[in-house]
Amino acid sequence: MAQLPISGWSVRILRGKVGFFDNIIYGFQVTFQPINFLFCGIGVLVGTLVGVLPGIGPAGAMALLLPATFKFSPTSTLILLAGIYYGVQYGGSTTSILVNIPGEASSVITCLDGYQMARQGRAGPALGIAAWGSFIAGTIANMGLVLVAVPLARAALRFGPPEYFALMCTGLVIVTYLAQGSILKAIMMALVGIILGSIGLDIITGLPRFTFGINELTDGVGIIPLVMGLFGISEIFVNLEESLEREIFKTRIKNLWPSLKDWAQAKWAIVRGSIIGFLLGILPGGGAVIATFVAYAVEKKVAKEPQRFGKGAIEGVAAPESANNAAAGGSLIPLLSLGIPPNPIMAIFFSALIIHGIQPGPLLIKQHPDLFWGLVASLYLGNFLLLILNLPLISMWVKVLEIPYKLLFPLILLFCLIGAYSMNNVVFDLYVMIFFGVVGWIMRKFGYEGAPLILAYVLGPMLENALRQSLLISQGSFMIFITRPISAIALGIAFLLLLSNLFPYFKKQREKYEEFKE
């Protein structure tokens, strides 16, 4: 798709004649275009559905819908994907509270107190505070996104290949550091991701490498079949190995509006969860999952009666549910301002932009203000839609939960197959997806994670490009990474993080964190 021409509005932004509120109004004008409004609504509904259903995560859902967006504008596509992303965060809480089964990994911690609240006949306030917390956190994250992304993008205009190389290295190190299992295995997966990302034509010489004579591999391994295989198909296999029956806790859902007492208990949890979620969302590999664990741990630490946690404390629902939504907003910052996706979901966003002919990076906000401000405004709108649509629709989501998995899994499998095929209309992609489905399933059994692999796979070609360009500039001297302050600081952080694994204190802290998660 051809790039949009720089509009008169962009020229005014470039000249600094457009203020913050003008931009927001412009964003709402973009979002309220019928097609974008429709995509926002579809996104949050599909996202909630995906969050409620086990077996197909946000990455899979986005990958599935991505080919269907080819004939629409990049702005509409991004609005749809963003809707799915934070819709999932909301939808996951419904299953955590009512079934004690998290629809998504970012809702695991909500089970602890959410389900207990449901058992005590307080499913309504639990769902209500989850929805309100998500809404407030989403709003705070949007504000943070605008405040941080624009100046960061401006600063990033001064970055060269060494800075990008260093930032990407740091990102990958943080991803492996924050991995849920073994760091060693996470680093190994990141290296495998880099190798996978190098399959196809070499960026500089244009010659094929690691294609083994297979013509279809000259374009590289497609991200959609890779993501669908590693996350979608492997998840189905894992579910199929277990019993397919699940029990839904029967309760009357009433009082969805939390009481004043509930609000008094939850208000600071929402604020703290939002801030933690937003900050951890920016970090590479942080994302929504870790944000929920940290937010819950902080609430328990600051609570006057920590013993209430795990027994139906409303703060135990408010904090993680706020954190996961805020993280969704925060994780857009590195992507939109630096062009570096911080987690696998953002890698799908990244691919969507590339497919639509837009290069994510510091120039994105200036060259495509409709996309950036439209997306920001759609986040506000999406959060509002989630609130007004989902609270009345909770009984419908409960009905969805009652659909047996044995009926769902063939449909999810078919959707994955259609998603993988329709990207390039090539049967080879189906084989790639099935192959990585098996690889992902076996990786789970052996304790390897898919997230570092996906992120390194996306960053790999950019990392290689930046490294080779840097070495060409410096005439083969690695000192270029040390003599430039930003890259020196970024690499220093990465080095310290790697080194910290050797120190007993950090090792103990990490062990505690893993124990807490278990």
Binding site for other proteins (CB under 8 A): 67-68, 71, 184-185, 187-188, 191-192, 194-195, 198, 202, 204-205, 207, 209-210, 237, 240-242, 244, 406-407, 409-411, 413-415, 417-418, 421-422, 425, 427, 430-431, 434, 438, 441, 445-448, 460, 463-464, 467-468, 471-472, 475-478
CB of 210 to other proteins, least distance (A): 6
Q: From the CB of 441, what's the least distance to other proteins, in Å?
A: 8
Q: Which residues of 177-210 are buried (b: 16+ CB within 10 A; e: fewer)?
A: bbbeeebebbbebbbbbbebbbbbeeeeeeebee
Q: Nearest distance from residue 270's CB to other proteins, in Å?
A: 38
- In the complex, least distance from residue 219 CB atom to other proteins, rounded to whole angstroms: 16
How far lies 333's CA from each of 158, 190, 276, in Å? 17, 22, 15
Q: What is the nearest approach in angstroms of other proteins to the Cβ of residue 453?
A: 12
Quote the least distance from Cβ 440 to other proteins, whole Å: 12
CB atoms within 10 A of CB 157: 10
Closer residue to other proteins (CB): 349 or 415: 415
Residue with tokens 């839609």: 385
Say how far residue 108 (Cα) sits from the centre of its chain. 16
| CA 293 to each of CA 111, 365, 515: distance values in angstroms, whole numbers, following the listed order | 12, 32, 12
Cβ closest to other proteins, residue 24 vs residue 195 = 195
C-beta atoms surrounding 415 within 10 Å: 18
Taking the least distance from each CB to other proteins, the nearer of 129 and 187 is: 187
Q: How far is the CB of 445 from other proteins (least distance, A)?
A: 6
- 448 and 456 in contact (C-beta within 8 Å)? no
Nearest distance, CB of residue 414 and other proteins, angstroms: 6
Tell which residue, 126, 140, 136, has the closest CA to residue 315. 126
* Cβ closest to other proteins, residue 308 vs residue 444: 444
Contact criterion met (CB below 8 Å) for 113 and 310 = yes
Measured from the CB atom, the residue of 307 and 425 that comes closer to other proteins is: 425
Q: What H or E segment, with its residue span, contains residue 216? A: none
Q: CB-wise, 168 or 387, nearer to other proteins?
A: 168
How far, in Å, CA of 45 to CA of 64, rounded? Answer: 15
CB of 320 to other proteins, least distance (A): 29
Nearer to other proteins, 363 or 471 (CB): 471
Nearest to residue 329, comparing CAs of 498, 145, 481, 490? 145
Distances (CA, A) of 89 to 45, 340, 434, 473: 12, 22, 27, 44
Residue with smaller CB distance to other proteins, 71 or 252? 71
- Report the nearest approach of other proteins to the CB of residue 257 (Å): 37
Q: How far is the CB of 319 from other proteins (least distance, A)?
A: 32
Radius of gyration of the chain from its Cα atoms, rounded to whole angstroms:
22
Shorter beta-carbon distance to other proteins: residue 207 or 260: 207
Q: How far apart are CA 168 and CA 174, in angstroms?
A: 10
Q: Which 8-state DSSP code applies to residue 203?
A: T
Output 205 or 307, the one with its CB closest to other proteins: 205
Please report, as a single letter, which amino acid is at residue 408. Answer: L
Q: Mind giving me the DSSP string for 313-376?
A: -THHHHHHHHHHHHHHHHTHHIIIIIS---SHHHHHHHHHHHHTT---STTHHHH-HHHHHHHH
Give the residue with the Cβ less far from other proteins, 138 or 419.
419
In eight-state DSSP terms, residue 121 is T
